[in-house]
Amino acid sequence: MAWKHTPLLLLVCTVTACSARDRADLLNVCMDAKHHKTKPGPEDKLHDQCSPWKRNACCSVNTSQELHKDNSRLYNFNWDHCGKMTPACKRHFIQDTCLYECSPNLGPWIQQVDQSWRKERFLDVPLCREDCQQWWEDCRSSFTCKSNWQKGWDWTSGINKCPATAACRTFQDYFPTPASLCEGLWSHSYRLSNYSRGSGRCIQMWFDSAQGNPNEEVARFYASLMTDGAADHAVVFLALSLTPMLSLWLLG
């Protein structure tokens, strides 16, 4: 009678094996986007705010240098579209861009998109509470003209400019809370987490690489939740679907 269980066992093993492969695909990966490397790897000379990722990065040295420039050629995006942004505020935007370009730990939140300059993005990354709060505090007195920087700019000059109907006001006017900044700025790339830095449950925008990369543990935690949950659902589905056949095998 042992052979009669074989088809079901093979199917269940297939599901769990797929789960393991899927989990691996969520860890240590680079997005399919304009400036990202195909696979992460060491980049010993990453520049300034991107240096925490030098041991394992999805960005190149040239990319890390370019994104620190006010007139970067990466996206022709001007931080100072409403006058000079304060250095404390700009520091957060550079760190945000370094995380986007360099991190290999965003796999659980990568989604496919249909855009001319990228095929993937990340969505709803749980950003640590302090990172979001400090970003908002340091930028609240700088000026902007939009609450969503992902779209709606005037690109006729080749560089982003405010739409004709958009007024330059303080960040706090456009982003009255830390959540509105972190979640609205890039079309929900981030979500404000209730967890704190070091909890292993939220992504840090920046970290001291001498202490290791805390985002690796966070990615493993969420990848495990996603793949284990998917496997559980798949096994239940298979069990329900194959109950009639299982009865026949056992009785046959």
What is the DSSP code string of 35-64?
A: T--SS-B--TT--GGGGGGTTSBSS-HHHH
pLDDT for the residue 239: 46
pLDDT in tens, the chain (252 residues): 343 343 433 333 333 333 333 545 788 999 887 888 989 999 989 999 999 999 999 999 999 998 898 877 778 899 999 999 999 999 999 999 999 999 999 999 998 888 777 888 889 999 999 999 999 999 999 999 999 999 999 999 999 999 999 999 999 999 999 999 999 999 999 999 999 999 999 999 989 888 889 999 999 999 988 876 544 444 443 444 444 544 444 455
pLDDT for the residue 16: 38
pLDDT for the residue 157: 92
**Residue-number span of the structural domain to which 198 is assigned:** 2-6+15-251
Per the CB < 8 A criterion, the answer to whether 60 and 32 are in contact is no
**How many domains does the chain fold into?**
1
pTM for the model: 0.79
Burial 22-61 (b: 16+ CB within 10 A, else e): ebeebbbbbbebebbbeebeebeebbebbbbbbebbbbbe
pLDDT for the residue 245: 47
